[in-house]
Structure 1
Amino acid sequence: MIVFDLHCREDGTRFEGWFRSSADFEHQREGGLLMCPQCGGGQVEKAVMAPAVGRKGNQLVEKRPAQSASAKAVPMDAQPQETAVATMAPLSDEAKKALVAMAEIQRKVLEKSRWVGGKFADEARSMHYGESEAQPIHGETSIEEAEQLIEEGIEIAALPFPVAPPDAVN
């Protein structure tokens, strides 16, 4: 997985997105699948990202005096207590309610669906061509394989929220 900082050109919101690859990001962007979490706009692009470059081992650590009585001296190589994940405007109450409702709908749909894991494309084809009984399934497949299924006329849909395999759930 790769994490990109993203930027909405419509309202300026910055947020992060996780993708399988740069090509996956481009495919989703070109397909209109990326939306701003704040305004719902589709003008999403990569934001400028600062690389996280560590200090060289041969560099001297500059010791600076504490700026206030409450400040503590922390060695340069000390691990931070907390890590900032992303800076993003808080979601509105309406957006939160919508996400909760979507998650609940997905949960109910998946209760009646069978997990097929990485065999999703094979199972979908088998049902489409009448080789096995049609039933709701969910699983994993590559973007390329999903595109091939669609080209064959097999109806599929991406789930809005990630799903953990049943054997990986506590």
Structure 2
Amino acid sequence: MIRYMLKCDQDHQFESWFRSADAFDALCAQAQVSCPICGSEKVAKAMMAPTVSTTRVTGDTPSAQPDPAPAQITSHTSPLAPDQPAPEQIERAMARLRAEVEQNSDYVGVEFADEARKMHAGNAPARAIYGEANFEDTKALLEDGVPILPLPFLSKRKMN
């Protein structure tokens, strides 16, 4: 892992970790690195002091150098980009999605994989269903070409 101090075209500074220098370059080339303050994808490495470790470790001798201060964001704006929804908006949208799925689909529970396979084979009437499936069943359905999608919420059966 490698840590870089980064800077966007709006002069916001922030730090981020990457698997390697090549991974950083590849992500930047694909516009996958963006400023957490303004959302700009025009990001470059900023100057930073090198981290130097000593080879000698002494028992209880305090370090000659103080611990480095944590990196700070240099702007006083919200950490979310302006076009990002607030967490409350996301929760409301998820609740609406859940209500829509529950209203317009049949819950088949743990029989989801069997029911989806029957519908795909033409042995059961086609309809919108939702339910639960383990990893192995999900993988098998996808490998067999059964069109399924995960839902971004947990089953009510598993909720406390």
TM over 0.5: no
Of structures 1 and 2, the larger Rg is shown by 2
TM bucket, shorter chain = 0.3 to 0.5
TM-score, normalization: structure 1? 0.42
